[in-house]
Chain A
């Protein structure tokens, strides 16, 4: 009735006799996943098969309360819990009596339909909003370069920020984001895994944000459909192309593919993004010459807004067609820009990305600008 197990691995049922339920973790028409105590030792029981007459087969592993707490917060999955050296299959009758038991060599020996999907949390509300995985040769626990770890965290956060800005009409890098908006994309890193390298971002704690994510999920689905669809599909907005570029693997290096899934991804099924996908995105961005927004401008910093990480660039020299422009920047550039603001307020050259309405710019870099008519450049520091 249940999947066959090598008779040679049969073990004594005495090991599990008298089991007592400690805590039911998942119940649906009866307990499906729970902890149990046998001779004072805590075990984790997972139902992997069920008969028509109420009999069942369970995968059983030793566990402890600390691990169960991590399971309940989503930092560990059920698959993680079962992936242990000590793994048993235990058959029980409808009254809960143990009828047979086997020692299993590992979870990989269990049929795929008899074990949880690797990334499935214990409860549905623990499902990550977004899981981002980087795939490349040689990535395993203890051998993940810091650059890969940084990318796995920074790229999806940047993509999510851009996606939320687009979806919520909050386009244009408004300097220091309002705290509420920042918490929409600066999500808690719920779990990391070394199947290549993966970071799962949990749902934010604030209430009432479902609409923001629902719209973003629709736009992300639109972008991914364009990416993997035929040439007949209408091109997506350049902002969504930039989201895809954030999520795509780099064009060279150890990482060859990325994968996204989670509540933000339609159907919560993995979507793979390869280097050829990245090429498609960058080709499409290059075609949008009328929408290209990178600029290099020279000017003087006339105003400096400490609270909102913004400034006004004046006496602008460049192809902007305006004499002054509001600019925003990140903490990393604060010191250089602040020094450039202080007297004697030297001219600076800034490189950045214009907002789609061309009314502001996000500064990405700054350096001293040549003095008018030539001459020595004043250092920022």
Chain B
């Protein structure tokens, strides 16, 4: 499956792997709005990015754990009050740990045609 045409060459990175994990994001409401699953590029940000950043801006940041997601919800409450979960499979694109950035998280580069926001469901509050 192809990535969107606007991705730079060699994007995503060679060491990005097929999706096969659960990921978590913060959302203002459930069902998750489409706007929650836009990349920096789609939102018009980092237009002058160069090098690795030029590829990173086409990916979506996601958390591999609920704990980090809940921490972000408390730290940046304007992003939303719900934690949402998606089970990503190889059909959904590629993913890689976002290096050199705090907090620890992943970048997901979705394939064209993946309806990203519909993959997410509410994650119940728990441990």
Contact = CB atoms under 8 A, between A and B. Distances in A.
Contacts of B126: 266-267
A124 B45 contact: no
A269 to B, nearest CB: 9
A293 interface: no
B44 A54 contact: yes
Contacts of A123: 71, 102-103
Contact of A266 (B45, B47, B127): B127
Contacts, number: 82
Contact of A267 (B47, B68, B127): B127
Interface string B36-49: 00111001111110
Contacts of B45: 30, 54, 94
Chain A interface size, as a band, is 35 or more
Interface string B43-66: 111111000000001001100000
B125 interface: yes
A32 to B, nearest CB: 6
The prevalent SS among residues of A at the interface is mixed
Nearest to B49: A30
Contacts of B76: 32, 47, 116
Contacts of A47: 76, 78
A94 B74 CA distance: 25
Contacts of B39: 29
Interface in A289-335: none
B77 A116 contact: yes
A372 to B, nearest CB: 58
A48 B78 contact: yes
Contacts of B75: 26, 33, 78, 116-117, 120, 122
A357 B102 CA distance: 49
A54 B102 contact: no
Interface of A: 24-30, 32-33, 47-50, 52-54, 78, 94-95, 112-117, 120, 122-125, 127, 217, 266-268
6 contacts: A28-B103, A50-B78, A95-B47, A116-B77, A120-B71, A266-B127
